[in-house]
Structure 1
Amino acid sequence: MNDAALRLFRPDDPDFAADPYPDFAELRALGRVHRYEPTRQYLVPGHADVSALLRDRRLGRTYLHRFGHEEFGRTPPPGEHEPFHTLNDHGLLDLEAPDHTRIRRLVTKAFTPRTVQRLEPVVRRLAAELVGDLVDAGGGDLVAAVAEPLPVAVIAEMLGVPESDRPLLRPWSADICGMYELRPSEETARRAVRASLEFSAYLRELIAERRTAPGDDLVSALILAHEEEDRLSEQEMISTCVLLLNAGHEATVNTTANGWWTLFRHPDQLAALRADPALLPTALEELMRFDTPLQLFERWVLDDIEIDGTLVPRGSELALLFGSANRDGARFDRPDELDLSRSDNPHISFGAGIHYCLGAPLARLELAASFGELLRRAPGLRLVREPEWKPGFVIRGLEELAVEV
């Protein structure tokens, strides 16, 4: 079991990161769970298991609501990393009930379907401007020109961040997200701590301004959100805003770039989409399934569980392999084929259970806007050269995607 995992799961290998799917298929064929010693995790590659475990309350994104570090058999994080953990540990992504339930309920009062609906004309205008600039230039790097600036601008607009401050957001987000890789370096940790401190200080000032002069933005709505006497603390508001940027933009950036790279490698499917733009809704779901932007999601084992006869004891950590699950032939017909008309598509790219992505409707809106504009304004969009992948495997994306119009 260990030998198979070591041979097939190589997150530090650029060749594996570029195309992990053949190895995932072999890993699924060899079993439902595999111990991976380098990170002391259990790898879970199958769709049925990943989907069920995301909903299993014997698992958690954190264990601190039930156990101390030593009690759980884990070493506390270094004290110098504390600013990152304070920011991360107060966000919805890494909380469990009852804190998760309370905060999600309050955030949902501010981040409503009407919030997303109200943003639609803004999203479409921003996408049209960015694609228009790319077309006027005759092409360029699709990542830098469209994929990255669109979700950052949308989140900034939603939060009420002034346009002059928006260039700060992307570097902060990238540095913080470096900590979500499997074995971040000390330099990665230093950058994440610095970004956590700077982003938190910026948001603290923004929140103070909105307390005295509320606006029509999410920060103002978070300040006002309450239930009886319960309100979000300042740290909870800061962590929520950072999570919305990080989760909302990393996945959208990589789905956009990875999606176009997939389309360029499947010219018949790209031609079908250009001929029938009504395919776009199912096409976007299929692109998220076919090349998943978030490859792995972790869960702590809070109570002993058993997977296919293997006891996974309390204190263990599961690595749920989203990319593998989304290519599982036990759930998807022709899993390694790109089919933009695929209607039976229960991919798990947005997660499942209580941690299902709060921003999924906004991500779908942004993707529909940018892909739709590119299909309309750049019908001859073509690849200039084969792209390279960024280092890292968990959040998996391209360095650039050079295109011509």
Structure 2
Amino acid sequence: MRFDPWNPDFVAHPYPVYEQLRREAPVSYFEPTDQWLVSRHADVNALLRDRRLGRSYLHVAGHEEFGREPEPEFQEPFWRVVRAGMLDVEPPVHTRLRRLVSKAFTPRMVESLRPRVKAIAGSLVEAYVEKGGGDLIAEVAEPLPVTVIAEMLGIPEADRHLLRPWSADICGMYELNPTPEAQHTAVRAAEEFAGYLKVLARERAADPGDDLVSALAAIPELTEDELVGTCVLLLNAGHEATVNVTGNGWWSLFRNPGELARLREDRSLLPTAIEELLRWDTPLQMFERWVLEDIEVDGVAIPRGAEVALLFGSANRDPEVFDDPDRLDVARADNPHISFGAGIHFCLGAPLARIELAESFGALLDRAATLELAEEPRWKPGYVIRGLEALNLTVSG
């Protein structure tokens, strides 16, 4: 098999291909997406921190100068939302936005959420165990982070059912060569979510509550578009990874029953197990960067204007960094995985994701006497954001 992100067999089993890439062509050009694939941990880690690359090039050049076609006009509402958040911009705009958002998203505030996260996870798992199982993703993995982020933002409970579909549709634009239908769906979701948040932000500016939208609305330096872009980013990044780490992680444990038994016997391994599950079957397989100045990687010249595809899933299995990388080890102590990125775009929500994962996995281990696969799961067709369609389990309390 070769690198083929549209092939279901590759999406299900990309790791042998990654091993071949690291060994034979650690930096290689992939014509179908006009990208340079970078597969080794050292290179991926270095490029994430290299300021000669960026998530965007629009702060230094126009589309034409970079040899790129301008985005179609119909996509404008999507990019207006996305580029108002900190993920898709570069300094000095990124620096200003991250500083402002960090004021409202402090480590103390995140840690203060732990009791609430524990209560939500416990309630979801209790209901799941009582009914004897079902789709773990739909009934536990998805509702937990969506409920947490909705409560953080101050989204009224009656509106929360809108969030997950909006997020999933928006994230469809990040897949490689998205279909026209996926593009239009992403644009529509971005428009609807932005419209909803603008109304909510104006309400909270006039009548503040104890929530993140109120806190952001009280920052005069933050524009309305930037507030919207920040909230959209927090929702998308704040739960897509958590959902997929939960599904991928339990599927990983079922494929490695000895490690599941270790975790059941010694709950103190939960923190290292979460990091290992993030590494072993990475939810975000690829992250892209634009080359703003000519660079050389492993002796390969990559010109200004090119796009690099940093293969997180490959980097996290690199034997130069991880001992016996294809082995799942819930006690792995030395684990410098890059599932949350690195450099200035390191995931702001990583501490919250870790809390959600620890409480979710812990609750299920505590309350389910038995956990068995009801059927082998199937992977969603997406490659960049990689997760299962469903994870159907049979559970007893």
**Displacement of 1:224 after TM fit?**
2.1
Amino acid at match of 1:302: L
2:36 is the alignment partner of 1:42? yes
**Displacement of 1:118 after TM fit?**
2.1
Give the match's secondary structure for 1:90: coil
- Which residue does 2:18 correspond to in 1? 24
2:378 is the alignment partner of 1:388? yes
> Can you list the C-alpha shifts for 1:129-161, whole angstroms capped at 9, x where unaligned?
100110110110000000001000000000000
- Which residue does 1:317 correspond to in 2? 307
**Displacement of 1:379 after TM fit?**
3.0
> Can you list the C-alpha shifts for 1:83-114, whole angstroms capped at 9, x where unaligned?
11111111111010000000000000011112
CA RMSD of aligned residues (A): 0.7
- Which residue does 1:215 correspond to in 2? 209
2:324 is the alignment partner of 1:334? yes
Unmatched 5+ residue regions in structure 2? none
2:17 is the alignment partner of 1:14? no
- Which residue does 1:65 correspond to in 2? 59
**Displacement of 1:71 after TM fit?**
1.1
Q: What pairs up with 1:131-280 in 2 under 5 angstroms?
A: 131-225=125-219, 231-280=221-270
The list of structure 1 runs, each at least 4 consecutive aligned residues, that deviate by more than 6 angstroms after superposition, is: none
**Displacement of 1:32 after TM fit?**
2.2
Amino acid at match of 2:149: I
Pick aligned residue for 2:297 from 304, 307, 317: 307
The 10-residue stretch of structure 1 (45-54 or 23-32) with the greater mean CA deviation from structure 2: 23-32
Cα distance in 1 for residues equivalent to 2:299 and 2:389: 41
Q: 1:107 touches 1:225 (CA, 8 Å); kept in 2?
A: no
Amino acid at match of 1:341: A
- Which residue does 2:283 correspond to in 1? 293
Cα distance in 2 for residues equivalent to 1:290 and 1:353: 21
> Can you list the C-alpha shifts for 1:351-402, whole angstroms capped at 9, x where unaligned?
0000000000000000001000000001311111100011110000000000
> Can you list the C-alpha shifts for 1:153-190, whole angstroms capped at 9, x where unaligned?
00000000011100000000000000000110000011
Give the match's secondary structure for 2:113: helix
Pick aligned residue for 2:358 from 356, 368, 375: 368
Pick aligned residue for 2:106 from 97, 112, 133: 112
Cα distance in 2 for residues equivalent to 1:397 and 1:307: 30
Q: Could you state the TM-score of these two structures normalised by the residue count of structure 1? A: 0.97
Cα distance in 2 for residues equivalent to 1:356 and 1:186: 30
Cα distance in 2 for residues equivalent to 1:55 and 1:386: 39
Q: How many residues align?
A: 395
Give the match's secondary structure for 1:38: helix
Cα distance in 2 for residues equivalent to 1:118 and 1:277: 22
Q: 2:205 touches 2:218 (CA, 8 Å); kept in 1?
A: no
Q: Could you state the TM-score of these two structures normalised by the residue count of structure 2? A: 0.99
- Which residue does 1:355 correspond to in 2? 345
Unmatched 5+ residue regions in structure 1? 1-6
Amino acid at match of 1:297: F
Cα distance in 2 for residues equivalent to 1:345 and 1:36: 29
Amino acid at match of 1:335: P
Cα distance in 2 for residues equivalent to 1:356 and 1:309: 27
> Can you list the C-alpha shifts for 1:284-317, whole angstroms capped at 9, x where unaligned?
0000000000000000000000112211000000
Cα distance in 2 for residues equivalent to 1:90 and 1:19: 35
**Displacement of 1:52 after TM fit?**
0.3
**Displacement of 1:225 after TM fit?**
3.2
Cα distance in 1 for residues equivalent to 2:105 and 2:7: 39
